[in-house]
Amino acid sequence: MSALTPEQQEVQDWAREFAARCVTPRALELDRNPASPVREELIREGARAGVIGNSLPEFLGGMSHDPFMGAIVTEELAAACSGCTVLFGATMLGLSPILMSGDLEKIQRFVKPLADSWETDEPRLAALAATEPGMGSDFILGHSGASPRTRVEKKDGGYVINGRKVFISNGSLASLVTVFAAHDTRGPVRESMSCFAVPTDTPGFSVGQVFEKMGQRACPAAELLFDDVFVPADHRIGEEGGGWQLNRSILSVTRTPVATIALGIARAAYDRALDYACQRVQGGQIIAEHQAIQLMLADMATRVEAARALVWKAAAALAAGQPSIVLSSMAKTFASDAAVTNASDAIQVLGGNGYMHEYGVEKLLRDAKLTQIYEGTNQINRFEIMESVLAERGL
């Protein structure tokens, strides 16, 4: 896809205007102080504007944006602040197991009340609880013998959950958490795991540590504790034992938004470096006329365009109902590497100013680094790409 349709262009303009008006002015403040009251203001504005949940169908209060239009929106938001973008997007991640289950009764029961709250002064958020200590890549890949330590047992018409999850985006803000837990913590993860919807006012649920992050600080990453948390049987999402496969389906969808966040960072780094280079005078001329700077800027521009091509291809596949974990992994890996490199080069172009917090460029590097880590590290993504390539060869 080489150009946007008029409808897609309209969505891009809407997202760009919102980002400039609501996100950019708050980005540095939330980087310095993630718990600042401006975070609540931003959540309210994002909810009322439809930024949160823009991909939900209209009967749930969303805009029915397909994944391609979602990528357009995400790039604009991430170019303003990737941490704020995750603050908005983590709710859809939390709701994704319910939405992907296709269970209309559960969608009405769990998703609709949250969507309705976005029109009020107290918008409610969701979070996905999968990661736990010592269980990252094993969980994603489903290695034999690997199983989450968060466990679930059947009891009296429902389930009891015990365990601990870490690094959960929006975990300290959510009113609903979708959590993956194992029926047999000694069994293989591919067979022993289920997913559950847990309202955070359920007895036994609590928020532990809220971690101090290097970047994307506007969105909190929290430790979630489950101490004999009872949920009724109808809070299970999908089939019993189907949690790992459900998570695989989620990854095939959610890696593309991460790639898009990285694209937004890479673009922001290039734009800021170019703007600075066209104004900064050194040796009697703007530094954009210096060959060394031109070579860096040319590479930065190329990375942005190449990353966007991969992101758009992956997003278009999602929009066509053909999610590809290979395409999304390629997009995520390439775009996140481009974001880190562009952010580092932008600091170099700005020199000492780039190293200073007030210019917001060093923030881009801190933010970019996380895109190489979450939704599967880039090493894991590369492994999965090649696993699929070799499988096509019958190996």
Give the model's pLDDT for residue 138.
55
The CA-atom distances, in angstroms, between 120 and each of 47, 55, 125, 350 are: 9, 19, 13, 43
d(CA 146, CA 158): 25
Task: Tell me how far apart the alpha carbons of residues 301 and 304 are, in angstroms, rounded to a whole number.
Answer: 5
The pTM of the full predicted model, rounded to 2 decimals, is: 0.94
Q: How far apart are CA 164 and CA 166, in angstroms?
A: 7
Active site residue: 76, 223, 362, 375, which one? 375
Question: Given its phi and psi angles, is residue 105 left (phi above 0), alpha (psi -120 to 50 degrees) or beta?
Answer: alpha
CA distance 249 to 312: 19
Task: In whole angstroms, give the CA distance from residue 381 to residue 379.
Answer: 5
Helices (H), the chain: 6-18, 27-32, 38-49, 67-80, 82-101, 104-106, 112-117, 137-141, 189-192, 243-277, 291-319, 325-350, 361-371, 378-392
Q: What is the pLDDT of residues 22-79, one digit of tens each?
A: 999 999 999 999 999 999 999 999 999 999 999 999 888 889 999 999 999 999 999 9
Residues with pLDDT less than 70, the chain: 1-2, 135-147, 185-190
Per-residue pLDDT, 146: 58
Residue pointed to by tokens 């959540």: 43
Name the DSSP letter for residue 202: S
Tokens of residue 305, six digits: 């365009």
Look at residues 262, 285, 287 and name the one whose alpha carbon lies nearest to residue 350: 287
What are the pLDDT digits (tens) for 131-186? 888 766 555 555 545 567 899 999 989 999 999 999 999 999 999 999 999 987 66
Q: Catalytic: 375?
A: yes
Give residue 1's pLDDT.
47
Domains and CATH numbers, the chain: 6-117 (1.10.540.10), 126-241 (2.40.110.10), 245-392 (1.20.140.10)
Can you give the pLDDT at residue 247? 84
Tokens in use for 222? Answer: 């929290």
Whole-number Cα distances in Å, 344 to 91, 123, 217, 354: 30, 36, 19, 9
